[in-house]
Amino acid sequence: MRHHYSSAWFCIVFFRQSFGYFLFLHAAAQERGQQKVMCNPKYQRGEKTMSGKKTGVRSPKRRQVYCHCGRPAVLRKGKEISEKLRDGEMVYVCSNFPACNSFVLAHPGTLKPMGTLAGLELRRLRYEAHREFDRLHQTGLMSRKQAYQWLAYVVSAPISHAHIGHLDEYYCKRVIEESKKFVQRRENRCMNKTAWKGGGCNVGTDSPRASAS
């Protein structure tokens, strides 16, 4: 009787181990097959297979962009909207165009909007604000990093959101005014140092907080 129970127990243990090993091999085979398919260039490019089914992982959908009027924006070629835009540039334009003449440029690589949609007057102010702001770091008054720290303080926003493409008319005018004041103040200081001390002027020493006050 004891030998009978031992044989039965041995069979159960052997069956469980064999079945577990079979499941392990099956899972490993499936994983190897999946890796082989994913390494296929056709899979990576999302091409169709012999069965006609499209392979590959679909790219995530772009987030819907809206105009300030509440209507959804559509992605179109820049030349279709304005002759001033360059060939190949893409823009997000209000779906009510031309009744609502608001658009914003899209990044060439990612097609993400470079800010919020803007009408004619706001686009003009953003252009002027960018021109005055760029003088701060392009002329050596401060580094590019310092310039964006200064901008973040002026518009009361985190540095990650301190972009002129997101500013409204009020903050565009403020950036234009503060940029001109900063440049004028620095020029006056340099002129005074040159006239009275005969030395050079270190143009990058002002802190963003002090220069914006």
**How much of the chain exceeds pLDDT 90, in percent?**
52
Q: With a threshold of 0.85, does the pTM exceed it?
A: no
Summary mean pLDDT of the chain: 76
Q: pLDDT (tens digit, 9 = 90+) per residue, 176-194?
A: 999 999 999 888 887 776 6
Q: pLDDT (tens digit, 9 = 90+) per residue, 136-159?
A: 999 899 999 999 999 999 999 998
pLDDT at 165 over 70: yes
Exposed / middle / buried, residue 212 (Cβ in 10 Å: 0-12, 13-18, 19+) = buried
Residue reference for tokens 């127990």: 9
- Return the pLDDT at 178: 96
Q: pLDDT (tens digit, 9 = 90+) per residue, 52-72?
A: 444 444 444 668 999 999 999
pLDDT at 123 over 50: yes
